[in-house]
């Protein structure tokens, strides 16, 4: 019987809220591109791939996507395929809902005084700034949502295939391998839809170079965050208790 007082129910609600919140924020802040070397105070790293070169530039969303990866693996561990699929579709629906209202807000007629209210701070047109910040192109939105959903569905299946082979052992392997495979697809699908098929018409060599750099970052973060997965698992098992944790994992493993 469903009850909000049950610890597994509360755990799923908290994990789902963290998952959706981080995915939603990542979509909106992803419009900003930052230079990693300048942020860290390092000299520019002149990477060269597929005939392209440049500095290490990423979307601001990379701050949050690693947290989404961790949430995916934790939910997978305790709530299985159905849990991950549910929150993935829910996140896509809520992200689409948020973009719809951002689109509507952009097309509201701005108050005349508001347009120039921040002119003394270097923003001469607040309406234009608002539209550029929140009005990501339809190709970018479509690419991001499609890549996110495909990546999540791949992640959950790879995770469970490894889990069936390894049992309770090698938590780091199923978490890292599932992220490595899913993000390989995600990193290239989003760029292909948004920038190759979209109006910018990127050449293939630029698409491959940027996709490879982005994937390399995600893979590195997946490895560096392995200790967080173990710490999160310890905290959850302490919260649930050994018997309840075993029950949830057995049900998750069984699909």
The answer to whether the beta carbons of residues 187 and 211 sit under 8 Å apart is yes
Residue 143 belongs to some domain of the structure: yes
C-alpha 61/C-alpha 218 separation (Å) is 11
Residue 117 belongs to some domain of the structure: no
Residue 188 belongs to some domain of the structure: yes
C-alpha 77/C-alpha 75 separation (Å) is 5
Neighbours of 253 (CB within 10 A): 14
Q: What is the CATH number of the domain that holds 84?
A: 1.10.1760
Residue 2 belongs to some domain of the structure: no
- Which residues constitute the domain of residue 60? 7-106+127-253
Residue 152 belongs to some domain of the structure: yes
Residue 3's pLDDT is what?
61
Which two three-digit tokens encode residue 42? Answer: 């390092």
Domain count, the chain: 1
Residue 113 belongs to some domain of the structure: no
Residue 15 belongs to some domain of the structure: yes
Residue 54 belongs to some domain of the structure: yes
Residue 2's pLDDT is what?
55
Residue 16's pLDDT is what?
93
The answer to whether the beta carbons of residues 215 and 185 sit under 8 Å apart is no
The answer for residues whose C-beta is within 8 angstroms of residue 190's C-beta and 6 or more apart is: 143, 144, 146, 147, 148
Residue 78's pLDDT is what?
92
Residue 89's pLDDT is what?
92
Mean pLDDT of each 10-residue bin along the chain, 255 residues long: 75 93 87 82 79 76 85 90 91 90 92 93 92 76 84 86 78 84 86 78 85 86 88 91 89 77
């Amino acid at each position: 019987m469903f009850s909000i007082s049950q610890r597994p129910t509360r755990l799923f609600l908290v994990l789902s809220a963290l998952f959706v919140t981080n995915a939603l924020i990542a979509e909106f802040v992803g419009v900003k591109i930052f230079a990693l070397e300048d942020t860290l105070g390092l000299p520019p790293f002149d990477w060269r791939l597929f005939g392209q070169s440049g500095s290490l530039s990423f979307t601001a969303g990379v701050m949050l996507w690693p947290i989404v990866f961790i949430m995916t693996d934790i939910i997978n561990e305790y709530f299985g395929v159905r849990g991950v699929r549910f929150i993935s579709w829910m996140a896509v629906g809520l992200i689409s809902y948020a973009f719809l209202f951002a689109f509507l807000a952009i097309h509201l007629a701005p108050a005349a005084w508001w347009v120039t209210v921040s002119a003394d701070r270097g923003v001469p047109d607040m309406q234009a700034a608002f539209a550029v910040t929140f009005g990501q192109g339809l190709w970018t939105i479509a690419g991001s949502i499609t890549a996110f959903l495909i990546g999540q569905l791949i992640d959950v299946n790879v995770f469970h295939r490894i889990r069936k082979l390894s049992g309770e052992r090698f938590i780091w392997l199923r978490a890292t391998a599932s992220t490595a495979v899913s993000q390989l697809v995600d990193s290239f699908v989003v760029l292909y839809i948004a920038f190759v098929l979209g109006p910018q018409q990127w050449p293939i060599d630029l698409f491959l170079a940027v996709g490879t750099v982005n994937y390399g970052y995600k893979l590195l973060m997946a490895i560096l965050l392995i200790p967080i997965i173990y710490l999160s698992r310890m905290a959850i098992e302490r919260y649930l208790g050994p018997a309840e944790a075993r029950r949830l994992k057995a049900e998750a493993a069984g699909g």
